[in-house]
Each structure stands twice: as structure tokens, then as C-alpha cells.
Amino acid sequence: MREIVAARGPFVSIHLPPGAGARAWGVLRHSLDLDAATVRLLDRALADPGATPAGRSLIAAESRLLVDESPAWWPPALVARVSELPYLLPLAPRLGTRALVGGREPGRGTFERFLARPVDGLARCAAELTAGRVEALVIQPYLLGSRPVWVHHGRITAGQAAGATRRRADEALPMAALTAGAEVLVADDLKLADGVGALLHLDPGVGQ
């Protein structure tokens, strides 16, 4: 993931459900706004029948393939985007309150601590991320969706700000969390305001 943080966009993010692969790419390559070098890069990657029963996630930027692995979960439909930020959520562990407490899924311990002391809402979580106080970000992808945030020199706000650039929240928030070293988790069955919550560091000095 360090390569993603260091890379510059635009990024192409492709998340393929099980069974999809070269055939799906054959359609996508004509519908995405990609430079020739990136097309060739993805042609080579997707010519390899590397799709697994769990699907396949690829993220590329600067004519480099930064991610090529099985997603932690996959959306019901294929996802393919070209954006200034990558779409990372299918790579994040997906958890829910109905799962057994104490389970061994990645992120389970962090998720249980979040349930004990959550904060939620887009404006609050954006502010806490900007302040560096977030230990883990918890997102409901279908509720957060394409809600906008504004980004300016590392500062994220839920409302429009002078000099800031509009970005999709489901891209900007996970990228900000990754850059800050925070975990990113996907929630199944919570009721979070705006589809996003955060576990804050207990140490009040963190982020100061």
C-alpha cells in the first residue's frame, strides 16, 4: 500500500467479481479514458488468467500496476473507475455485528473497539482524519457512495472550501486514512450517519 500513497493519479481501479477477467476487460478497455501505456499494462495483466474464486482487484497509476490481488470482498457488479484517487474499499476487511464476537477475521478486534466507542458522520470523520486522530475508519460503501468531500493540502471537509478540490468520499476518506496509517474497515450492518464512522485514538495527544 505504500506504493499507492506515493503514487500520483490518475488511478485506474478495477474490481472484478468471480469469473470475470479478460472478457470483461475487453469491453472495459474501450470505455475507460486511459493512456496507451496503461492500456498495454492492463492488457498484459488481464491476459493472465489470474482471476480467483474471490475475484480480482487491480489498481494502476503512472503506467505501473500497484495492486493485483484478490479483493477482501466484491461488489455485486464490476467496478471500473479512472480518478485522481484510487478506489480502495474492496481491499478492506468487511465485517458486521452479526459475526461472532472474538472472531479471527482481519480487523475484528479493531471493529469491536469501534462498536464500543464510535463516532460517525461525514463532517465529524473528515475533521478527525484531518486532525490525525483516527485509528480506524469504518465505511458502509452503499450508504457513503459518491457523496462529495473537498480536499486541500491534506485537509478534508464535508462542505465546500475555498481552493479545495471536490472528490468522492469513498475514495478520499480511505486514501486519507491509509496515508495517516489508520485501518480501513467495511461494515455490513451498522447504522452510521452518512455511511462512515471512526474509532479515535484514546491518547488525546495524538494528532496534536
| Domain span holding position 172 | 94-200
Whether residue 83 is found in the same domain as residue 112: no
* N residues, the chain: 208
Are 186 and 141 in contact, with CB atoms under 8 Å apart?
yes
Of 34, 56, 87, the residue at which a domain comes to its end is: 87
Q: Are residues 50 and 100 in the same domain?
A: no
Residues 102 and 72 in one domain: no
Q: From the DSSP assignment, how many helices (H) and strands (E) are in the chain?
A: 7, 12
Do 66 and 103 sit in the same domain of this protein?
no
In a domain, 206, yes or no: no
* Residues 109 and 193 occupy one common structural domain: yes
Alpha-carbon gap, residue 73 to 62, rounded angstroms = 26
CA distances 10 to 24, 96, 118, 181, Å, are: 21, 32, 33, 22
Identity at 145, one-letter amino acid code:
G
> Residue 171: what are its φ and ψ, rounded to 5°?
-105, -45
* 205 located within any domain: no
Domain count, the chain: 2
Decide which of 87, 114, 145 is a domain's last residue: 87
CA dist 208 → 125, 130, 158 (Å):
16, 11, 21
Question: What per-residue confidence (pLDDT) applies to 52?
Answer: 58
**Domain termination site, one of 65, 87, 109:** 87
- pLDDT band of residue 76 (cuts 50, 70, 90) is confident
CB 41 within 8 A of CB 29: no
Mean pLDDT on 130-138: 95
Q: Return the higher-pLDDT residue of 1 and 134.
A: 134
Examine the domain organization and report whether 120 and 76 are in the same domain.
no
Query: Is 188 part of a structural domain of the chain?
Result: yes
Tell me if 208 is assigned to some domain.
no
179 assigned to some structural domain: yes
- Do 57 and 121 belong to one domain? no
What is the per-residue pLDDT for 202? Answer: 85
Does any domain span residue 176?
yes
Check which CATH number belongs to the domain holding 114 and give it.
3.30.1330.30
What are the b/e assignments for 38-67, b being 16+ CB within 10 Å? Answer: beebbeebbeeeebeeebbbbbbbeeebbb
User: What CATH number corresponds to the domain at position 10?
Assistant: 3.30.960
C-alpha–C-alpha distance, residues 154 and 145, integer Å: 21
10-35 per-position pLDDT tens digit: 999 999 887 776 778 888 888 899 99
Backbone angles phi, psi at 111, to 5 degrees: -60, -40
Q: State phi, psi for 81 to the nearest 5 degrees.
A: -135, 150
Match 474492496 to its residue by C-alpha cell. 90
Peptide bond between residue 10 and the one before it cis (omega within 30 degrees of 0): yes
Let me know whether 98 and 195 are in one domain. Answer: yes
pLDDT tier, 143 (very low <50, low <70, confident <90, very high otherwise): very high
Residue 58 lies in a domain: yes
**CA-to-CA distance for 157 and 74, rounded, in angstroms?**
28
Do 78 and 136 lie in one domain? The reply is: no
Same-domain pairing of 125 and 196:
yes
Res 39: pLDDT: 92
The pLDDT value recorded for residue 98 is: 64
72 and 142 fall within a common domain: no
pLDDT at 51 over 60: no
Asked if 69 and 126 sit in the same domain, the reply is no
The C-alpha atoms of residue 164 and residue 172 are separated, in whole angstroms, by 13
Q: Does a structural domain hold residue 18?
A: yes
